[in-house]
Chain A
Amino acid sequence: MRDLLTAYPPLVRSAALVAVTYRGRMILGVITGFFPLLTMAVWLTVVAEGGPPAGWTTGDFLSYYAAATLLWNLSGNHVVWRWDADMRSGDLSIRLLRPVHPFHQYATSDLGHRLVFLAMLVPTLTIAALLVPGLDYPADPVLLAAVAVALALAYALSLLMASTFALVGFWSTQTTNAWLLWWGLGSFASGWVAPLALMPDWLRTAAALLPFRTAMGFPVELLMGRLDPRQTVYGFAVGLGWLAVFALLYRITWRRGIRRYQAVAG
């Protein structure tokens, strides 16, 4: 564990430096990740034509989707494609020889990139909140601290969930498709397709128990000040519970999977 703690900062820093070197690429990545803004634009039309659906005003939608963009860029989903590529090419063999477990190699590399995204997006979001009328978040320090923890939890869970799915690659070549299916189904319960408040009751009830909301809707709703203390504690409890579940699943799958791994090349 101590070795790991000493390994993390330099690995994360080097990944962040790589990300900064290819900043044009990153900026394009942010700009092209605008799908949430498309769905927001349609909601704004709905508000303009028929009034606020379920009490959600233009300002609510702006605040929700601006924060959703942040969460979209903070997910650890990308590691699935890295694992998949390395298992296919055999580059995983080289990673296995290194003193740090491959999970942490992918995690640090991804984390470095995410931190650079955060460094770009958080100031942008802050400026937007100050300038755009209607785009507002409660400036309560306790709340913001809770949001910071929720963001860390969101990232950790999405990373662990994605990594667990990536291990399907020990058995099948369809890892990325399996992941996309899982993510696609989850996007209805995460707040990605639409804010959960606007979803049917049965879906909202299910979403409160499923892992997906932790990685997206929960931090956003928290930031918007829409959750009372009881709901906040409940959200954290569900997120931490799933974190434990996926940590366990990951370990079991890894132990079984690595025995099957036969390097193709390296």
Chain B
Amino acid sequence: MSGWTRHARILGICWRAAVASEVEYRFNFISNVALSMFWMLWAAAGASVYFRYTGAVAGWTNAEVLVVIGLFFALNGIRQMVLQPNLERMTDYVRLGTLDFLLIKPFDAQLLVSLRHLNVNTLLDPVLGLALTTTGIVLTGRGTSVAALASFAWMLACAVLLMYALTVAMMALAVKLVAAEELGQVSYAFVELSRFPVDLYRNPVQTILTIVPIAFLTTYPAAALLGRLDPYMLLLAPAVAACAGVLATLAWRRSLRSYAGASA
């Protein structure tokens, strides 16, 4: 276990350094937080247009859709904060051969490459997103229960792991394609699909999004919070997340075998 604590300690140091350097640009940080809040209001107002014409779309009321939109912002905030800044650097790592130096460090290569950097600008997005989710729950007027909160936390943890796996898969591809910027867009597109509950799309899109596991990102965690999740999902979600994690790690290792250093 000492390996894990050592890894956690070193990542903690890296992240503290990232926060410390960003604190220099306080106004920039405030401006970005304000923009994040604006985008959430934007999304909430935009979704409300549908409900001018109907009380519920595919069984989701306006308040329930807000729960999902909040989760979307929370997850996307985590993606922009931890995953995107690292994925962005992959092109340079490969092109300049920096990856050589990262691989020989006495630290797990996948963790180092995928978690080393931190974008502090969306630090508060998960908090803001969960605030919108809470607002949605309050607006439904039904409240929630301890059991629902517990299953929500469980499903959300699975969703974060799943999103991490998607990004590691993109990193593996980046080693081969050397096009991290575009792959970043693809990973964003995955998450973007989870902006609305998947039920809002009709088939075949809905089925595809359930298989591609977009539904596990926001729809099922929201359903858990609203107390209407199929209990078997509590087992299926970790299985899906774990499978995705293992597959992504295998893809990463495979891509490293094909990597030939570019540094001299």
Contact = CB atoms under 8 A, between A and B. Distances in A.
B51 to A, nearest CB: 9
A180 B35 contact: yes
A241 interface: no
Contact of B53 (A25, A44, A50, A177): A50
B34 to A, nearest CB: 8
A53 B54 contact: yes
Interface residue tally on B, bucketed by range: 20 to 34
Interface in A173-188: 173-174, 177, 180-181, 184, 187-188
Contacts of B106: none
30 contacts: A24-B179, A25-B179, A28-B182, A29-B185, A38-B192, A38-B195, A39-B46, A42-B50, A42-B57, A44-B202, A45-B57, A45-B201, A46-B53, A46-B54, A46-B57, A49-B57, A50-B54, A54-B53, A174-B27, A177-B32, A177-B34, A180-B35, A181-B35, A181-B38, A184-B39, A184-B42, A187-B42, A188-B45, A193-B45, A194-B46
Given A41-B200, A45-B58, 19 more contacts: A28-B186, A29-B182, A32-B186, A32-B188, A34-B189, A43-B50, A44-B202, A45-B200, A46-B57, A48-B202, A49-B58, A50-B53, A53-B54, A173-B28, A174-B31, A184-B42, A194-B49, A199-B49, A200-B52
A204 to B, nearest CB: 12
Given A46-B50, A46-B53, A194-B49, A41 B179 contact: no
Contacts, number: 82
A31 interface: yes
Nearest to A26: B182
A125 to B, nearest CB: 20
B193 interface: yes
Interface of A: 24-25, 28-29, 31-32, 34-35, 38-39, 41-46, 48-50, 53-54, 173-174, 177, 180-181, 184, 187-188, 193-194, 198-200
Contact of B185 (A28, A43, A181): A28
B216 interface: no
B36 to A, nearest CB: 10
* Those 3 A-B pairs whose CB atoms lie nearest each other, nearest first: A53-B53, A194-B49, A32-B185
Given A41-B201, A41-B205, A35 B192 contact: yes
A42 B58 CA distance: 9
Contacts of B27: 174
Contacts of A48: 202
B141 to A, nearest CB: 23
Contacts of A181: 35, 38
A225 B58 CA distance: 31
B196 interface: yes
A199 B53 CA distance: 10
A24 to B, nearest CB: 7
A50 B59 CA distance: 12
A50 B205 CA distance: 20
A193 B50 contact: no
Nearest to A42: B200
A38 B190 CA distance: 12
Of B34, B52, B181, most buried by chain A (CB within 10 Å of CB) is B52
Contacts of B38: 181, 184
